[in-house]
Amino acid sequence: MIKHRILIAACLLGWMLAAASVRPANAADASPWVEDLHSAFRLIAGAAKANEAPLRAGIEIKMQPGWHTYWRYAGDSGVPPRFDFSGSQNLAAAKVRYPAPHLFTDETGNTLGYRDGVIFPVEVRPKDPKAPVTLRVKIDYAICDKLCVPVEGLAELTLSRGDSTQDAILTAAEARVPQLVAADALGLSARRVSGGTKPLVAVDLKAPTGRPVQIFVEGPTPEWALPIPKPAQGAPEGHRQFGFELDGLPPGVDPKGRFDLTFTVIDGERAYEVQTRLD
């Protein structure tokens, strides 16, 4: 009887090993952590259905308590992160999306970014939708506490369609990316209210009284470095008003000209992105 059980167990083990040898190998859900003295980063994969495009990935950065990194626009100081996917295989395009940032104020001024940790979702479009994508990214970013430290490194992850153990945290990060909406949907308007070399721009926004609201503004290109709008007094009921000077324009840009501005509005737990023309 004992010999019979041993024979059965051996047969079952052999069957399992044989089955494993012919089962397709699944891509890892996360790359190894690339560690620095004060931070670490990695790539993670999200779940993707068989005929679903694009693929989903995330660039996760974790930092020691108290340290922070920056948004796509850093504010008064700081360095926005840079991502280079040029070494990838079967990649048509990779679009990095940015969760709504936090406002940090210290002796250097106002900066925008993330404390302790952040996941940047990435929309990955393969050249051949039926084949995996080997995503290789060179990452350059800065982390700051009392001082700032530059960090750079490489991460690699093969993405294929299927489930992922990292899907929940990636989905949560995607939910924190501001939703793109029309200016009319938020009742947002921006207009110049003064002249000169640095005209004052007034921003009006429909928002219930008593709920915390922040707005940030970006110019048409990364070369713009506009101030963070400040809350203004005297807004009518159901509205919030902000103001900022047209300062930090690239050389040669007429402050009285027409150009597109992008506003990020953080209204309580919700965040929106609005693009509007300043005439």
Domain boundaries, the chain: 34-177, 180-278
pLDDT at site 163: 92
CB contact at 8 A, 68 and 143: yes
Q: What is the reported pLDDT for 209?
A: 72
What is the pLDDT, as a whole number, of residue 1?
Answer: 37
Span 160-207, pLDDT tens digits? 999 999 999 999 999 999 999 999 999 999 999 998 899 999 999 998
Q: In which residue ranges of the chain is pLDDT below 70?
A: 1-27, 52
Confidence at residue 49, expressed as pLDDT on a 0 to 100 scale:
80
pLDDT of residue 20: 31
CATH architecture assigned to 180-278: Sandwich (2.60)
* pLDDT at residue 269, as a whole number: 84
Amino acid 17: pLDDT: 33
Q: Do domains 34-177 and 180-278 have the same CATH topology?
A: yes
pTM, to two decimals: 0.86
Phi and psi torsions of 24, nearest 5°: -60, 140
Could you give the percent of the chain with pLDDT greater than 70?
90
Please, what CATH class does the domain formed by 34-177 belong to? Answer: mainly beta
d(CA 87, CA 153): 13
Distance CA 98, CA 63 (A): 17
pLDDT in the model for residue 56: 96
Which are the contacts of 150, defined by CB distance < 8 A and separation ≥ 6? 79, 140, 141, 142
Residue 236 is predicted with a pLDDT of 87
What is the model's pLDDT at position 147? 87
Place of tokens 């690239």: 250
Q: What angle do CA 80, 63, 85 make, to 5 degrees?
A: 45
